[in-house]
Structure 1
């Protein structure tokens, strides 16, 4: 009877560790890592295991100083920076679409913290909006999909890749509007 319990427990533990290894491989592809050494220093941690609590899961979010700078962003500063960013992007997109001869059916609208840039067929629509509860700007791009940007230092950063909002637009929009010189980096909070 005791041998049966031990074998059952070993099978259970084997399944847990096999599952943990598969989970670890899948999470690694998503930018998540397990770190048994530094539990106390991390925020946003989740632990898993059967008996062991020394494995910890944490998404990469840049360095701790950047995380602290983002956490201490007060609401008034966020509102000001977000409004300046969206206003400048709106004005710039309006200028670009007005001067673009190759865009048929394009339209730019901005209201209630939502900037919608319809670049016509086949290019699609960009939606850039504020997310006040999270203190973020969200981008929905027909080219690269959805992204959430945090204000870190003096830029809007997508923390999964370190890419900025303005640099992403700088990569995508010139492929659509080819008749003009485009420079999103010169806008407020672009560099």
Structure 2
């Protein structure tokens, strides 16, 4: 005869995080606990953005090879422009680095930006000390956030122009 193991399963701490009422469970068997864990751990994926809007077909059907070509081209072009700024304004932009699809940009008085490729999602992610995190998809020939329709180049331009001397004009637009 198999001996069943009984354990006290308390989910009271979970209610502190979710702030929802809970029903305390008494003793449940391991089989019942496994069923409960399976029921809770289901994940559902959809073809919609985090705002609930449908992802455009151009973004959803972007070939991986095209993603890599466009993202590498974008990051290389951005690196060239940021290195120019770093050489011209070493106190304001002391460090810029690109390794394996991850760019770090140190900006005085603001903090560190991280711009990196996300191949599974076919996106470029931005972690900005000013505006926070955002994701950009290759849409209509540019890297655009589907959440707020801002271009990655425009976000960087707007945030960096606050730090650099106002007499200097610079352009992050792609060269044709």
Could you say which residue in structure 1 is the equivalent of 2:169?
A: 181
Q: Structure 2 matches for 1:40-51, cutoff 5 A?
A: 43-44=47-48
Partner of 1:60: 53
1:86 counterpart residue number:
75
Out of 156, 159, 162, the position equivalent to 2:146 is 159
Match of 1:97?
A: 86
Q: Which runs of 4+ in 1 moved over 3 A?
A: 42-45
Q: Larger helix proportion, structure 1 or 2?
A: 1
Q: Give the Cα–Cα distance (whole angstroms) in 1 for the partners of residues 89 and 115 of structure 2.
A: 20
In 2: Cα distance, 1:124 partner to 1:43 partner: 34
| Equivalent in 111, 116, 119 of residue 129 of structure 1 | 116
Q: Is the 8 A contact 1:157 1:164 kept in 2?
A: yes
Hey, what does 1:113 align to over in structure 2?
A: 101
Q: Deviations over 1:118-167 (max 9, x none)?
A: 113x2211110000000000001111001000111201111111111011
Cα distance in structure 2, aligned partners of 1:188 and 1:79: 19
TM-score (norm 2): 0.67
Q: CA RMSD in A?
A: 2.4
SS of the residue corresponding to residue 83 of structure 2 reads: helix
Gaps of 5+ in 2: 1-45
TM-score (norm 1): 0.62
| Distance in structure 2 (CA, Å) of the matches to 1:60 and 1:188 | 31
Distance 2:105 2:47 in 1: 36
